[in-house]
Amino acid sequence: MIEKLIVTGGAGFIGSAVIRHLIANTGVRVLNIDKLTYAGNLSSLVEVSQSERYAFTKAGIGDVAAMERALAEFQPDAVMNLAAESHVDRSIDAPAAFVETNIVGTYTLLQAARKYWETLKGERQGAFRFHHISTDEVYGSLSETGLFTEATAYDPRSPYSSSKAASDHLVKAWFHTYGLPVVVTNCSNNYGPYQFPEKLIPLVILNALDEKPLPIYGKGDNVRDWLYVDDHAAALVLAVEKGAIGQTYNVGGNSEYTNLQVVEAICTVLDELRPRANGDSYKQLIKFVEDRAGHDKRYAIDATKITQHLGWRPRENFPSGIRKTVQWYLQHPEWWQPIRTTRC
């Protein structure tokens, strides 16, 4: 049973959702370790920041001394590694940070976790878990049919997905070589509250509110499987608690939509909840732009394994999740306005 858990990258989009879920729905004590780079935001954790079960340490996973100290002092039962550089466009323009954090940082954290794990005795050592959170982008690109399974060969196409693939391989190597008890999860595209405004869905929502163009790469026909972030958080907690050692679990929303369909869905909800002053649909703001270099055509997850083995399934479908997301951004300008002004 997990009583104490370290979450790296806990001030990020998915990490903060995991921590909010843990504080609200479990008795687990959480240490959030985050470097607070551009996408890290402690305001995403305001609702849990006063909990006696929550603590924060500012550090990067590449800081050997900080990682070893945090593990030794907090004495966790598990580590969830969500610390990562994660924006594909940024990886194309500046890949060095992705290599440093996603590959070298994961190696550093693995070494610190292994050193700590080897000090544990008896049942505590046997129960320890290192849970690495990754992406479906490591699998490459699908044609119009088929799904990514846990047996799909890796075929990363971008600096981001390549760095995550490398980190996945390191985690699995530390299991096979050193016996470190690991679990890996690979997720599809997340969306929901508290997402950094440079990502597609919040960018479109906020651009629409500002009467700015809604940019869509290419023809807008790239397909992604959309996963509501709170559903993902619940899956991650299940995986770290009940996942089998050395196993990988794919986590997907079973909600395939093209980028154009996603943007049009956002516009439809906004037309209802926040109509434009001129009476036109927000769809009139859609603007097709030059496609991203090496843009993968389609991602889609087969989540059968985590459903059958751990009993997880998403609660939200895309229509319900996107409505909740738009409503959240409309209701919480105090969260996104400072970010929009200073970081984007």
Catalytically annotated residue among 107, 139, 160, 299: 160
Q: Which two tokens stand for residue 266?
A: 């956002």
Beta strand ranges found along the chain (DSSP E): 4-8, 29-34, 54-58, 78-81, 129-135, 182-187, 189-191, 214-217, 223-228, 248-251, 256-258, 286-289
CB contact burial 107-138 (16+ within 10 A = b; e otherwise):
bbbbbbbeebbeeeeeeeeeebbbbbbbbbbb
Rounded Cα gap, residues 82 and 207, in angstroms: 28
Average pLDDT rounded to a whole number, residues 208-218: 96
pLDDT in tens, 158-200: 999 999 999 999 999 999 999 999 999 999 999 999 999 989 9
Catalytically annotated residue among 34, 63, 85, 137: 137
How many CB atoms within 10 Å of residue 341?
8
Average pLDDT rounded to a whole number, residues 232-255: 98
The hierarchical CATH code for the domain 4-194+227-254+297-317 is: 3.40.50.720
Residue 63 is among the residues annotated as catalytic for this protein: no
Catalytically annotated residue among 77, 136, 150, 256: 136
In 3-state terms, what secondary structure has residue 227? strand
Q: Is the pLDDT of residue 312 over 80?
A: yes
**R_g of the chain computed on alpha carbons:** 20
Q: Which two tokens stand for residue 105?
A: 């940082």
pLDDT in tens, 116-158: 999 999 999 999 999 999 999 999 999 999 999 999 999 999 9
Residue 155 is among the residues annotated as catalytic for this protein: no
- pLDDT (0 to 100) of residue 295: 86
Q: Which two tokens stand for residue 190?
A: 């997340």
Average pLDDT, the chain: 96
Confidence of residue 341 (pLDDT cuts 50, 70, 90): confident
In the chain, what percentage of residues exceed pLDDT 90? 91
Average pLDDT rounded to a whole number, residues 100-119: 97
- pLDDT (0 to 100) of residue 343: 65
Confidence of residue 292 (pLDDT cuts 50, 70, 90): confident
Residue 137 is among the residues annotated as catalytic for this protein: yes
- pLDDT (0 to 100) of residue 88: 83
- pLDDT (0 to 100) of residue 344: 56
CA dihedral for 65, 70, 71, 73, sign (positive or negative) = positive
- pLDDT (0 to 100) of residue 87: 77
Average pLDDT rounded to a whole number, residues 4-19: 98
For the chain, domain boundaries: 4-194+227-254+297-317
Residue 216 and residue 252 in contact, taking contact as beta carbons nearer than 8 Å: no
**Nearest of 54, 59, 63, 64 to residue 24 by alpha carbon:** 54
Confidence of residue 294 (pLDDT cuts 50, 70, 90): confident
